[in-house]
Amino acid sequence: MVRTLSYAEQLDECGYVILPSILSPDTIARTTQRIEQLLDASLSTAEYLHGSKGTAHLKDLDPELPWIAHALREEPIARLVRQHLGDASHRGITYRAPMPGHGAQTLHVDWIGPVYEKHVVCTVLLALVDISGRNGGTRLVRGSHRDVPRMLPKSLRDRMPGEIIPALTAGDALLFSGHIYHGGSENNSPHPRHALLINYEGIR
């Protein structure tokens, strides 16, 4: 019988793991409502002006979304981050919503230096809507976190063997190593793709 990998083993083996139903429907609705209020109040800010080019951003949302900050301190997210990075700090909760026709990124890594006993950086994406390859899901190259990058892709069109776009249900969390090749894909749906991003860095 094939043994099912634990979340920690999946993260170590694949470079990413999907954690289902981290946010309840009520929490998603509460979060979305607060974000809409913040966006309405940000029409003249740099975040809005940046968003008008294709992707809406809001930064440093911990004080505005304390229930999300609390969820990040709970199992299983806190435990997996600790196992992957050791002691770590996060750089604040960010909202990111690629608009239709936008969101594509070149595959990249967040850390290209050597990795010793622990990895250095990782990211948690909290899906506020269902996310797939159609509406701007995250491209990942399975297992690529185990190799020091030798040649980074140069174009949005560049693809790598083993590249996938994990499908997420609203409320799921995608936790992935910052050492894995990753990048946003184009949102080809008629709606914005709403998600929260939290970047972690190990304390060295």
CATH number for domain 7-202, candidates 2.40.30.10, 2.160.10.10, 2.60.120.620, 1.10.3720.10: 2.60.120.620
State the average pLDDT over residues 13-21.
93
pLDDT attached to residue 1? 47
Overall average pLDDT of the 124-141 stretch: 96
Alpha-helix runs per DSSP H in the chain: 7-14, 25-40, 46-51, 66-72, 77-85
Tell me what percent of the chain is helix, strand and coil, each rounded to the nearest 5. Answer: 25, 25, 50
pLDDT, averaged across the chain: 85
For residue 110, the SS3 value is: coil
pTM: 0.88
Summarize the confidence of residues 95-99 as an average pLDDT.
93
Render pLDDT for 73-83 as a digit per residue (tens, 0 to 9): 998 999 999 98
